[in-house]
Amino acid sequence: MTDLGYLLEAILLLALPFVPIAVGVLLRRKFSAAPAAEGAEAPAPTGAQKAGRVIGAILIGIGAASILFMIVVLLNFKGYL
Amino acid sequence: MQVAGRPEPLTFRQARDAEAAIRQLPDGSISRITLYGHGSPGMQTVGNDAYDPDSAAAMLRGKMARGGVVQFSGCNTASIGGASVNPAVGISMAARRLLYFSLPYFQDRLDGVPAAQAREQWEKTWDADLSRDTSLQMRGTVVCGYRTFGLVPGRLPGLTRLLGNQEATTPGYVAGKKVCYQDGREVPEP
């Protein structure tokens, strides 16, 4: 591989933790509660909506933990932790 | 170190003290030894010293009991192994590739090292397997290491301050993916 190839590899590896975050955000938007009609109560979320939002939240948490892990590892590698 | 005939394990802070003690031990008397410190691909530190497969095997050869266990308790003291569905293992693999290949490769390239030379150097290094290579030099001994970065509760910065500890000096729980080899072949953890 050339330098460009290794650079692309490094960019993809760095982007890896953001994938579950992006999927989680998409899930939470897709399964968000339907807006209430004017003057009416918002409908209760369905089971599928709740499950989708929970899974989305879990994925966002996994992504955030992954980013934190990589930061900790880098700081430890450089001797700051 | 667990030694035949001694009920209590021997513990050393400095590698040189441990080496001196090991030299005095009868052959085949060590049933288990844990090397505890920072690890990186192909290397394990203990105190101010570091061991690679050759130096680890040289220190212990002949002293381990048949089927005795050498535990490298450091990060990345084994290769990354095969694919895993565990996201923590996946992130560890990515971090290892970035820290031990990408970063030094581009540092070398910026220093003017030819691409082929830098590639050969770091491709050989980033996935080095200290545990397997050591087991190949110590027939019959089980050698274990970690395929991933390890999280050590006793070394978390906030937690150590809260508990009033200094760095963790007694081998304890390490959160990581462990693997064991005997004569270069993967075996179940004893």
User: What are the extents of the domains in chain B?
Assistant: 2-79+128-187, 83-127
The mean pLDDT of A28-53, rounded to a whole number, is 77
Of B29, B26, B21, the closest CA to residue B3 belongs to: B29
* Two structure tokens written together for B69: 């266990």
d(Cα B115, Cα B106) in Å, to the nearest integer?
A: 9
Is the four-CA dihedral B34, B38, B42, B43 of positive or negative sign? negative
pLDDT for B52 equals 95
User: What's the average model confidence in pLDDT over B172-179?
Assistant: 79
List of chain A residues whose C-beta atoms are within 8 Å of the C-beta of residue B149: 69, 73
Residue A70 has its nearest CB partner, among B95, B109, B119, at B95
Q: Are B76 and B39 in contact (CB under 8 A)?
A: yes
Distance of CA B119 to the CA centre of its chain: 24
- Residue-averaged pLDDT of chain B: 88
Asked if the model's pLDDT at residue A73 lies above 60, the reply is: yes
Please check the confidence at residue A44 and state whether its pLDDT lies above 80.
no
Quote the minimal CA–CA distance from A66 to chain B in Å.
7
ipTM of the complex: 0.79
pLDDT reported for residue B163: 62
**Contact indicator for B20, B47 with CB cutoff of 8 Å:** no
Q: Are strands B178-182 and B142-146 parallel, antiparallel or unpaired?
A: antiparallel
Chain A CB within 8 Å of residue B157 CB: yes
Residue B8 has a pLDDT of: 86
- What is the C-alpha separation between A75 and A73, in angstroms, rounded? 6
Contact yes or no for A20 and B87 at CB 8 A: yes
Task: Give the least confident one: A8-12, A66-70, B99-103, B144-148.
Answer: A66-70
Q: What is the pLDDT of residues B38-61, one digit of tens each?
A: 899 999 988 889 999 999 999 998
Question: Apex CA B57: angle with CA B51 and CA B62, to 5°?
Answer: 145
- Amino acid B46: pLDDT: 87
| Whether A74 and B99 lie within 8 Å, measured CB to CB | yes
| Range among A44-48, A77-81, B113-117, B174-178 rated most confident | B113-117
Instruction: For residue B113, give both structure tokens.
Output: 């090292």
Q: How far apart are CA B176 and CA B190, in angstroms?
A: 16
B54-101 pLDDT, tens digit per residue, is 999 999 989 999 889 999 999 999 999 988 888 889 999 999 999 999
Taking the C-alpha atoms of residue B3 and residue B26, their distance in angstroms, rounded to an integer, is 9
φ, ψ of residue B66 to 5 degrees: the values are: -60, 125
CB contact under 8 A, B91 and A74: no
CB atoms within 10 A of CB A13: 19
Distance from CA of A44 to the nearest CA of B (A): 33
Hey, is the C-beta of B91 within 8 angstroms of any chain A C-beta?
Answer: yes
Share of chain A above pLDDT 90, in %: 52
The pLDDT value given to residue B183: 95
d(CA A21, CA B180): 34
Supply A43's token pair: 């409908």
